[in-house]
Amino acid sequence: MNEITMASPPLGPTAPVSEILLAGIAIRIELPPSLHWLAIERYEAIRKHIEREGSPLHDKVVWFYPQGSMAIKATIKSRRRQDGYDIDIVIELLLPVTITPAQILDLLYEAIKGEKGSIYYDMVERQTRCVTVYYADGMHLDVTPSILLDENDPRRSHIFHAKLEEPTTAHKRVVMNSWAFCEHFNRALPPDLLFEQAYAKRARDGMKVLADAEVKPVPAHSTMEGGKSAAVVGLQLLKRNRNMRYAKRVGVRMPPSVMMAKFAADCQLPTGTICGALEVISGAMLSALLAAEMRNELVDVRNPTCNEDCFTDRWPENRAAQQTYISDLKLFRQQLHALMNGALGLDEMQELLIEMFGEGPARSAVEEQARMLGRAVETGVRGIGVTGRVIPAAVIASPSIITSAMAKPRAHTFYGERWPKK
Amino acid sequence: MRTLAQQIHSMKRNWPSFETVEMNADHVVWFGDLEGIQKPYRVMVEYGLPKNLLTDPLFRQFPQVRVLSPPLRPNFEAAEEAPLPHVYFDKEDLPNSVLCLFDPRALEWSSDHFIALTTIPWTCDWLASYEGWLATGRWFAGGRHATPQVERVS
């Protein structure tokens, strides 16, 4: 297995190639800051719209906050552009506790939809637990109504489940505290400054290499906002892998992101590497699912800040669903170990990464690495490690990695014949 | 000109994992492992002291490097440098082709240079760039060719 040593800062030139490629993929699947800011603008606009004079919820909104991936900086793009992406918002309302699930969802629906001719009139859809606002560019804003249960236990709330085609007897209240969970997650996995800086630098350098190649301006990136740790990046990659696996399973519910986030927050991650985070988080999830299987049960994962909040209340629906994700995780871990063992060539790693995270980001990250290495070789700004590894940087690493004689070998120009064209 | 003993000593010092598998008074062959990016490749380096500049075989003109394993993988569909980048083609056995690591016209190598400090690190450069080429079909490490690209009219 590759090891990162003190001489090898996170994602630096001597970091394992698998680590660099995983960072490259994660950088490509994140929601860019322009879309992040747009989402914030839009949810502010929705809030004002719901609170407007004449709205059925005028003066009833207590709190309006993001939940899920946006609140823990783990939002990723969808695999296909046309699938758009979800932003999850909770709207805490001051309403009588006797209100029924269907009533509160219908009320929120009316408040957002507004009068005919209103901005959101044709963009809104009532769901089982939320109201979705669809934007023409593919963004969806899921607004989930809630009522606070106990003002001494901030944000522990009821949300409401009322499927339109189900009888009202099947409607229910569900306890949740996503606010406290996001706080817990962010406390458990604080930004790792060393990793964050290295990750942001790689994002800038990598985007510049590709932008130079394509003569395009350097795109902005979410790493500009900071706040990253290897665990959050690992979580984003695991979500991407899950989305890949489930893309062809039509009508099948996916393992919930919040369950994955809970396992990530529970893990002790001493290594500060993406590979390490993936290994530990996927291992923890697999262990929990296998343990449930051994007991002939479905996995039961709870919000550590609110035990009544069950993250797995809608998935897995049955043992088959549980077994499907167990198989996915086993495959993922096999692929991860193959990536980490150092025996694969760049082309073989590319094939694996395509299977794990999709063609676009995998090919782009590999091309970036090939370009960086090629440029380093052509310009001579590289050293040669004791095992022969080309280290694309002018820096002199530890003598255990690179000898002084190999720090900057003599310049040369590749030569040779051309194959005759027919 | 460096003597063969000097070359062998320098190889032992800088690349201790390389073994001398054949040696006589004016000719030596080494086998050794190099990474390039991270995958290990076994290579063969053959070198002989120059005797007669006009009639010497190639290995007496400069060190010849071949990749033994895993064998080179020609790709006739590659966008650049098909079917193998920067080699002297062995048309009977393409994976056995000798790597072209320097421009002889620019006098980038001479028998005054140590193989350990030139040919071997250049081989590492080639292997790293070759892996990039295998993955992308493109060669990003620069270079020249002995002959310009000419469309052959059939």
Kindly state the average pLDDT of the residues A217-246: 78
> Between chain A and chain B, how many beta carbons pairs sit less than 8 Å apart?
179
Q: How confident is the model at residue A70 (pLDDT cuts 50, 70, 90)?
A: confident
Query: Which residue in the set A350, A387, A412 is minimally distant from B102, CB to CB?
Result: A412
- Specify the pLDDT at position B76: 96
What positions of A carry a catalytic annotation? 86, 88, 142
- Among residues B85, B134, B142, the alpha carbon closest in space to that of A380 is found at B142
Residue A195's alpha-carbon distances to A277, A279, A366, A397, in angstroms, are 12, 17, 21, 18
Upstream peptide bond of A392 is cis (omega within 30 degrees of 0) = no
Q: Using CB atoms and an 8 Å cut-off, which of residues 61-90 of chain B contact chain A?
A: 82-89
- Partner residues linked to A126 by β-bridges: A131
**Quick check: B134 and A387 CB within 8 A?**
no
User: Is B129 an interface residue toward A (CB < 8 Å)?
Assistant: yes
A370 CB neighbours in chain B (<8 A) are 131-133, 135-136, 138, 140
Which of A123-132, A362-371, B143-152 has the weakest average pLDDT?
A: B143-152
Residue A201 has pLDDT above 90, yes or no: no
Contacts of A331 (CB under 8 A, 6+ apart): none
Distance of CA A376 to the CA centre of its chain: 31
pLDDT in tens, A253-305: 999 999 999 999 998 776 678 999 999 999 999 999 999 999 999 999 999 99
Taking chain B (154 residues) in runs of 10, the rounded mean pLDDT of each run is: 94 95 93 93 95 85 96 96 96 96 92 95 97 97 77 38
Rank A25-34, A383-392, B120-129 by mean pLDDT and report only the highest: B120-129
- Specify the pLDDT at position A87: 82
Residue A71: phi, psi to the nearest 5? -75, -20
Q: How confident is the model at residue A216 (pLDDT cuts 50, 70, 90)?
A: very low
d(CA B7, CA A58): 86
B100 CB neighbours in chain A (<8 A) are 414-417
- The residue of chain B nearest to residue A372, with distances taken between CA atoms, is B140
Residue B37: phi, psi to the nearest 5? -105, -65
Six-digit token string for B20: 């001398």
User: Is B132 an interface residue toward A (CB < 8 Å)?
Assistant: yes
Q: Could you report how far apart the first and last alpha carbons of chain B are, in Å?
A: 47
Residue A99 has pLDDT above 60, yes or no: yes
Kindly state the average pLDDT of the residues A85-104: 91
**Quick check: A388 and B129 CB within 8 A?**
no
> What mean pLDDT value characterizes chain A?
86
Q: What is the pTM of this model?
A: 0.88
Query: What residue segments make up the domains of chain A, in order of their start?
Result: 17-30+190-371, 33-176
Residue A131 has pLDDT above 70, yes or no: yes
φ/ψ region of A342 (left if φ > 0, alpha if ψ in -120 to 50, else beta) reads left
A411 CB neighbours in chain B (<8 A) are 108
* Strand-pair category, A172-176 with B64-69: unpaired
Residue A213 has pLDDT above 70, yes or no: no
User: Which comes out higher in pLDDT, residue A41 or A327?
Assistant: A327
**Quick check: B104 and A415 CB within 8 A?**
yes
Residue A204 has pLDDT above 80, yes or no: no
* Third-level CATH fold of A33-176: Beta Polymerase; domain 2 (3.30.460)
Query: Which residue in the set B89, B140, B150 is minimally distant from A375, CB to CB?
Result: B140
Are the CB atoms for A262 and A235 separated by under 8 Å?
Answer: no
A340 CB neighbours in chain B (<8 A) are none
- Specify the pLDDT at position A197: 76
A382 CB neighbours in chain B (<8 A) are 125
User: Is B5 an interface residue toward A (CB < 8 Å)?
Assistant: no
Instruction: Give the burial class of A111: count Cβ atoms within 10 A of its Cβ; 0-12 exposed, 13-18 middle, 19 or more buried.
Output: buried
- Specify the pLDDT at position A219: 43
- Specify the pLDDT at position A1: 39
- Specify the pLDDT at position A120: 95
- The residue of chain A nearest to residue B72, with distances taken between CA atoms, is A345
- Specify the pLDDT at position A2: 41
Which ipTM was obtained for this model?
0.91
Q: What angle do CA A218, A219, A221 make, to 5 degrees?
A: 125
Q: What percentage of chain A reaches a pLDDT higher than 90?
A: 60
Across chain B, which distance is largest between two alpha carbons, in Å?
53
Counting every residue, how long is chain A?
422
